[in-house]
């Protein structure tokens, strides 16, 4: 089965090296490949092309060039495979922090392009899923804290039991067709605005 038509952007100032990457991609069945040789205004080009995956090839990157590419990685939120000829520990750590999905040192060979690309995509997807799950867990925890605070406010201001306070929050949420945490947020905000004994 041939791979889905992914749009791939190759960023490479060296035309010989970019030809190797392009050949590797086309042999692997990827035919929507765009090559960009000039890194100037690259963020705008990425917005125009809207690639699914980005391959960056840096022959002899200096610190500024790497930092620019790492900033780009953080901004675009897409799988990125980066080839470099040499690297140091700090650069590797910076690449990981920037969210580069595959950081390949001295490994630019045509036959390696496809597996590296696939690895970059699967790593990116796994990382995105983890980040999303973490965000959801944070949201749930935040919601639970709000509900606890709202119950506390009702118990104090209306002399309710914890069960009654929770039941009132639930009933209000259902009547207003809102999430329980949103109703709790409104109550907490109102209590904060009105100050002690305001509700």
Q: Give, to the nearest 10 degrees, the angle between helix 63-76 and helix 42-49.
A: 30
Query: For each successive 10 residues of the chain (199 residues), what is the average pLDDT?
Result: 73 87 88 85 83 84 73 79 79 77 77 82 82 88 92 92 92 92 92 70
What domains lie within the chain, and their CATH numbers?
7-108 (3.40.50.2300), 136-194 (1.10.10.10)
CA-based angle 11:12:14, to the nearest 5?
Answer: 165
pLDDT of residue 169: 93
pLDDT of residue 16: 87
Are 91 and 46 in contact by the 8 Å Cβ rule? The answer is: no
How far separated are the first and last CA of the chain, in Å rounded?
A: 64
- Angstrom distance (rounded) from CA 28 to CA 79: 18
- Angstrom distance (rounded) from CA 101 to CA 40: 23
């Amino acid at each position: 089965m041939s791979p889905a038509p992914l749009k791939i952007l190759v960023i490479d100032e060296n035309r010989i090296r970019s030809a190797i990457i392009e050949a590797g991609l086309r042999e692997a069945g990827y035919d929507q490949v765009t090559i960009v040789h000039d890194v100037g205004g690259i963020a705008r080009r990425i917005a125009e092309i809207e690639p699914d995956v980005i391959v960056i090839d840096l022959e002899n990157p200096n610190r500024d060039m790497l930092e620019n590419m790492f900033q780009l990685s953080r901004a675009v939120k897409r799988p990125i495979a980066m080839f470099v000829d040499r690297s140091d520990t700090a650069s590797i750590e910076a690449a990981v922090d920037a969210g580069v999905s595959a950081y390949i040192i001295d490994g630019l060979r045509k036959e390696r392009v496809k597996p590296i690309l696939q690895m970059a995509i699967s790593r990116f997807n796994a990382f995105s899923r983890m980040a999303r799950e973490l965000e959801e867990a944070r949201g749930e925890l935040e919601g639970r804290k709000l509900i606890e605070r709202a119950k506390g406010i009702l118990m104090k201001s209306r002399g309710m039991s914890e069960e009654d306070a929770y039941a009132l929050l639930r009933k209000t949420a259902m009547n207003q067709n809102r999430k329980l945490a949103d109703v709790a947020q409104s109550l907490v905000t109102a209590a904060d605005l009105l100050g002690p004994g305001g509700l």
